[in-house]
């Protein structure tokens, strides 16, 4: 029998017959203590997994982050068994592990209710306490089809029929119940110790709106109650911060069916925040040597043919429209316009690099099912820029982009990033040599900044390598925002050139980059990061003035004018209401400062500031107040003063 080599953590090496199950390998090495599965060449597998090639095998223990996938997948099976026990007509479809949990989709005549979830959870607890061992059974295609069609599980039959002909079909059994499944699973239902069903949703079979609507149940599972509790608290906190909820409460933006799905209306208060962001953006781009451009929202379809978008990007584009015997296309990207500006004159090697930026609004078709508030939309404004440079300038330009990106993200309160460097995929355009040079240039830039990053080998776009940056918010969630992409394709397609010092034509390098990614998305992330309580410099309303009674209105107006003069975003609340009521309202609206004015303040020509979430401050002159908040108003200084 053919032997394969197994490498163990710590450098141990041994051999086993090809096809040995991971469970046997672990057992024969005496490493079973607390082990629930393994990682084979980095992939999580269960004890039944058969190793067919030289591999690295790392045992995975109960209680570890890595092993969570095993109990979550098993929890999905336990849930499906519970559902079928309580609702015997419910048919099973698929039940994968997802980030932070699992779900299972059932075909059932009605949606499940919160009361149903309670019953299902109770039944799941029974199944868990029975500690039923899971076993895996290999079956032939015919066996699988006849088993599931006898049970009336037509979705499973459909799945079996769609499996590639050489695929080994497996069924996981737990007592009487079983499921068609590829694994991996924990060894016993008893391993699912701490779980919770979270929510219900409708989902089309195979995501296709022409297929039956299924009933989805989401849940999660952890190794212990402490971790589960922590997660549920975080979920609660995320719900409170949901930008759709906060956006409504603070009157920041809306998305309305009558306007169109995925199309964002920025209300006055949201627009104020956006203006502050854009002002900062423009100022910093000026400093970093960018020129700012404006380009149209539509262009002749021919432009998008030259760029390749018609051939390679059409499913993401809105349909084109006809006008005077030509076809026009609403733009999905800004790039071709910048290229056309480049080509209006002959460029010399001395002109490069050119850094051109635009907050350009683009439109892309996203399926209605994936739209999500501001985070996934159909119309959005990219903080786009294109750098046209010589090949020898790539590293320096990427360094500049990284500096600017980090400055921006820190300014907006993000200190944690995940960075990925994506390299040449299987299908690509351009020379391997140029690719390697550009990839090295990106690597050099990251290394010289001392930034930690992960390699995504083969994950680059077909047109060039790229760096993606995900920001981590206050709840530790990662959001894809910034990107730097080298492009060998568009300069070629548009036949761009510059005159080198040898007097001949050369192809420039094009770098696409965005820092926020999209204004909409970044704003959504900001709202969730701060839960709507923006730092003072970003806040749509920075100060509100509240009078105690009618006698202070005249002085209140004067204070209002003085703050307005120095461009504070100020509001007045001179209504005939109790102070406590006014204070509570300002808190709900998350206004950083409330200036209270009573008779004392009028007499002494002062104000009494109250900081949102902080203490009441001593009364002070308006000038003193302005001095007090000066640094909070400065995007480059506010983080040094972190108030409260």
Burial of residue 512 (CB within 10 Å: 0-12, 13-18, 19+) is buried
335 is catalytic: yes
> Which one is catalytic: 215, 329, 382, 393?
382
DSSP codes of every residue in 263-317: --EE-HHHHHHHHHHHHHHHHHHHHTTPEE----SEEEHHHHHHTTHHHHSGGGS
Q: How many residues bind Zn ion (CB under 5 A)?
A: 3
Q: Are 479 and 473 in contact (CB under 8 A)?
A: yes
From the list 175-183, 304-312, 321-329, 533-541, the region that binds Zn ion by CB under 5 A is: 175-183
**Which residue in the list 191, 241, 335, 473 is annotated as catalytic?**
335
384 is catalytic: yes
Nearest to Zn ion of 512, 521 (CB atom): 512
CA–CA dist 433, 438 (Å, integer): 9
Rounded least distance, CB 384 to Zn ion, Å: 6
Q: Which is nearer to Zn ion, 483 or 547 (CB)?
A: 483
Kindly state the smallest distance separating residue 338's Cβ from Zn ion, in Å. 7
Question: Are 49 and 57 in contact, with CB atoms under 8 Å apart?
Answer: no
Contact call for residues 320 and 328 (beta carbons, < 8 A): yes
User: CB 179 → Zn ion: shortest distance, Å?
Assistant: 6
Q: Cα–Cα distance between 63 and 353 in angstroms, integer?
A: 53
Single out the catalytic residue among 216, 512, 513, 529. 512
Question: Can residue 354 be called a binding residue for Zn ion (CB under 5 A)?
Answer: no
* 207: alpha, beta or left? (left if phi > 0; alpha if psi -120 to 50): left
Q: How far is the CB of 380 from Zn ion (least distance, A)?
A: 14
On whether the CB atoms of residues 217 and 106 are closer than 8 A, the answer is yes
Least distance from Zn ion to the Cβ atom of residue 483, Å = 10
Q: Residue 241 or 512: which CB sits closer to Zn ion?
A: 512
Cβ-based neighbour number of residue 639 at 10 Å: 17
Residue number, 335 or 374, with CB nearest to Zn ion:
335
Cα separations (Å) of 116 from 77, 87, 199?
Answer: 17, 10, 11
Question: Using CB under 5 A, which of the segments 55-63, 174-182, 540-548, 605-613 binds Zn ion?
Answer: 174-182
Q: With contacts defined by CB under 5 A, name the span among 294-302, 334-342, 537-545, 615-623 that binds Zn ion.
A: 334-342
Dist CA 491 CA 507 (whole Å): 7
Token readout for 29 is 């090495």
The smaller minimum CB distance to Zn ion, of residues 39 and 136, is found at 136
The stretch among 22-30, 387-395, 505-513, 584-592 that binds Zn ion (CB under 5 A) is 505-513
Enter the tokens of residue 613.
């979430």
Q: How far is the CB of 45 from Zn ion (least distance, A)?
A: 13
- Residue 208 CB, shortest distance to Zn ion, in Å, is 22
CA–CA dist 536, 543 (Å, integer): 9
Known catalytic residue at 243: no
> How many Å from the N-terminal Cα to the C-terminal Cα in the chain?
71
Q: Which residue out of 116, 179, 384, 468 is catalytically annotated?
A: 384
> Closest approach of Cβ 512 to Zn ion, in Å?
3
Instruction: Write down the residue that tokens 């190793």 correspond to.
Output: 51
**Residue 329 annotated among the catalytic residues of the structure:** no
In the bound state with Zn ion, the residue whose beta carbon lies nearer, of 181 and 543, is 181
- Which residues are paired to 219 by β-bridges? 102, 197
Q: Which of 97, 128, 335, 467 binds Zn ion (CB under 5 A)?
A: 335
Q: Check if 364 is active-site.
A: yes
From 20-28, 82-90, 504-512, 606-614, span contacting Zn ion (CB under 5 A): 504-512
Q: Measured from the CB atom, is 335 or 525 closer to Zn ion?
A: 335
Q: Which residue from 512, 544, 572, 582 is in contact with Zn ion, where contact means CB under 5 A?
A: 512
Measured between alpha carbons, how far is 290 from 400 in angstroms, rounded to an integer? 11
Of 216, 243, 285, 364, which residue is the catalytic one?
364
Catalytic residue among 243, 285, 466, 513: 466
Q: How far is the CB of 468 from Zn ion (least distance, A)?
A: 14
Q: Of 181 and 570, which CB lies nearer to Zn ion in the complex structure?
A: 181
Binding residue (CB under 5 A) for Zn ion from 78, 117, 180, 181: 181
Q: How many CB atoms lie within 10 A of CB 500?
A: 13
Near Zn ion by CB under 5 A, which window of 36-44, 47-55, 178-186, 449-457? 178-186
User: Phi/psi at 93 (nearest 5 deg)?
Assistant: -125, -95
DSSP 78-134: HHHHHHHHHSTT-EE----EETTEEEEEEE-SS---HHHHHHHHHHHHHHHHTTPBE
Site residues for Zn ion per CB under 5 A = 181, 335, 512
Active site residues: 335, 364, 382, 384, 386, 466, 512
């Amino acid at each position: 029998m053919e032997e394969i080599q197994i490498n163990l953590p710590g450098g141990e090496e041994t051999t086993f017959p090809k096809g040995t199950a991971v469970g046997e390998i672990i057992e024969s090495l005496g490493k079973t203590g607390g082990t629930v599965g393994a990682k084979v060449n980095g992939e999580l597998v269960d004890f039944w997994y058969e190793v067919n090639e030289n591999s690295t095998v790392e045992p995975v223990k109960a209680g570890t982050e890595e092993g969570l996938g095993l109990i979550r997948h098993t929890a999905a099976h336990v849930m499906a068994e519970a559902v079928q026990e309580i609702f015997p007509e419910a048919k099973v479809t698929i039940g994968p592990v997802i980030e932070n949990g699992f779900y299972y989709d059932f075909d059932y005549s009605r949606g499940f209710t919160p009361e149903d979830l309670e019953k299902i959870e109770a039944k799941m607890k029974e199944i868990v306490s029975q500690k039923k061992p899971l076993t895996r059974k290999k079956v032939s295609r015919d066996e699988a089809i006849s088993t599931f069609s006898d049970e009336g599980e037509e979705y499973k039959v459909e799945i079996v029929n769609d499996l590639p002909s050489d695929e080994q079909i497996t069924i996981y059994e737990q007592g009487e119940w079983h499921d068609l499944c590829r694994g991996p699973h924990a060894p016993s239902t008893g391993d699912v110790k701490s779980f919770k069903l979270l929510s219900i949703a409708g989902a089309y079979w195979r995501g296709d709106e022409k297929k039956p609507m299924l009933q989805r149940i989401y849940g999660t599972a952890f190794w212990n109650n402490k971790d589960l509790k922590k997660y549920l608290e975080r979920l609660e906190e995320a719900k409170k911060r949901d930008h759709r909820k906060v956006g409504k409460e603070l009157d920041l933006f809306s998305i309305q069916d009558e306007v169109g799905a995925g199309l964002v209306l920025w209300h006055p208060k949201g627009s104020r925040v956006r203006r502050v962001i854009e002002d900062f953006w423009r100022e910093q781009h000026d400093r970093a040597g960018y020129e700012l451009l404006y380009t149209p929202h539509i262009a002749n379809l021919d432009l998008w043919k030259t760029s390749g978008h018609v051939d390679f990007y059409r499913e993401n584009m809105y349909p084109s429209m006809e006008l005077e015997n030509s076809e026009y296309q609403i733009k999905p990207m800004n790039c071709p316009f910048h290229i056309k500006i480049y080509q209006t004159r002959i460029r010399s090697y001395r002109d490069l690099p050119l850094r051109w930026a635009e907050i350009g609004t683009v439109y892309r078709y996203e399926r209605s099912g994936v739209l999500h508030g501001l985070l996934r939309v159909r119309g959005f404004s990219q903080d786009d820029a294109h750098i046209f440079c010589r090949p020898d300038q790539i590293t320096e330009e990427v360094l500049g982009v990284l500096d600017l990106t980090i400055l921006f993200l820190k300014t907006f309160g993000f200190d944690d990033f995940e960075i990925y460097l994506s390299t040449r995929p299987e299908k690509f355009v351009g020379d391997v040599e140029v690719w390697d040079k550009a990839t090295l240039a990106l690597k050099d830039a990251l290394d010289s900044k001392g930034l930690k990053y992960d390699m995504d080998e083969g994950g680059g776009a077909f047109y060039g390598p790229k760096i993606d940056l995900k920001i981590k918010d206050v709840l530790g969630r990662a959001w894809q925002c910034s990107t730097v992409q080298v492009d060998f394709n568009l300069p070629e397609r548009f036949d761009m050139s510059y005159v080198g010092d040898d007097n001949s034509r050369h192809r420039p390098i094009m770098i696409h980059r965005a820092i926020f990614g999209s204004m909409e998305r970044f704003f959504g992330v900001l709202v969730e990061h701060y839960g709507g309580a923006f730092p003072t410099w970003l806040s749509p309303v920075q100060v509100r003035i509240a009078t105690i009674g009618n006698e202070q209105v005249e002085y209140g107006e004067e204070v209002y004018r003085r703050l307005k003069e120095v461009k504070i975003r100020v509001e007045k609340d001179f209504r005939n209401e109790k102070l406590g009521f006014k204070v509570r309202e300002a808190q709900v609206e998350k206004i950083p400062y409330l200036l209270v004015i009573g008779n004392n303040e009028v007499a002494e020509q002062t104000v009494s500031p109250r900081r949102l979430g902080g203490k009441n401050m001593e009364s002070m002159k308006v000038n003193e107040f302005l001095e007090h908040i000066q640094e909070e108003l400065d995007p480059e200084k506010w983080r040094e003063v972190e108030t409260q």
